[in-house]
Amino acid sequence: MGRKAVSYKVSVTDRPAINKMVREIHHQFGRIDILVNNAAINRGDNFATMTEHSWHTVIDTNVNSLFNVTKPVFKHMLRQRSGHILNISSIGAIRALPTAVHYATSKAAVIGFTKCLSREAAPFGVIVNAIAAGIFDTDLSEALPERMLEMHKFWCSRNRQGQPEELAEFAAFMVSDRNSYMIGEVVTVDGGSVT
């Protein structure tokens, strides 16, 4: 297709490695136009039995990674006065679903991050939005308790998990030049949740 790509295997919790990666990407391509913050983990923990380690692992991966990854990319976008940042949140952040407290808390933080950063970014031509995703057929959904996946069939109008390409199609629009006037929004893509 006449395109060039590079790949890295870096933990979103490793700030020095992220900073190095962003420097190398910027050096190779001269600019960074799109950032999608999509890394997330979940644990099937009840709050009563949740360990401190489990809490910190989820928060570090799902929330602290927003700072680790966005900060160095955002600096380049401010200098070039353009860019799109798309953060992936969850319907678990905005609805009382039977999901783990640490996961819901982390995804609610993504929404706050999106709304506040969007106001700071907009005057510099950087557009920040989020998607509150439902349950999609990914590795993350495989970590969910079976009872939740069964309940999903009842409260999702489509009676199924979403397919990754259904979310990808909308995400591609969100970070495209066609999306020039939506700023600081959290768009729900969840198959018609009825809760």
Given the residues 74, 83, 85, 103, the one annotated as active site? 103
pLDDT at 157: 76
DSSP sequence for 112-165: HHHHHHHHHHGGGTEEEEEEEE--BSSHHHHTS-HHHHHHHHHHBTTSSPBPHH
Residue with tokens 């590079």: 6
Active site residue 181: no
Return all residues near 191 (Cβ < 8 A) that are at least 6 apart. Answer: 134, 135, 156, 157, 158, 160, 161, 162
Six-digit token string for 182: 């939506």
CA distance 127 to 129: 7
pLDDT at 144: 67
pLDDT at 145: 66
Helix axes 15-29, 65-80, angle to 10 degrees: 30
pLDDT at 195: 54
Q: pLDDT truncated to tens, each residue of the chain (195 aa)?
A: 898 999 999 999 999 999 999 999 999 999 999 999 999 998 878 899 999 999 999 999 999 999 999 999 999 999 999 999 999 999 889 987 777 899 999 999 999 999 999 999 999 999 999 999 988 777 766 666 677 767 767 677 777 778 889 999 999 999 999 999 999 999 998 888 755
List the domains of the chain with CATH numbers: 15-189 (3.40.50.720)
pLDDT at 95: 84
Q: Containing H/E element for 58?
A: helix 52-59
pLDDT at 32: 98
CB atoms within 10 A of CB 126: 23
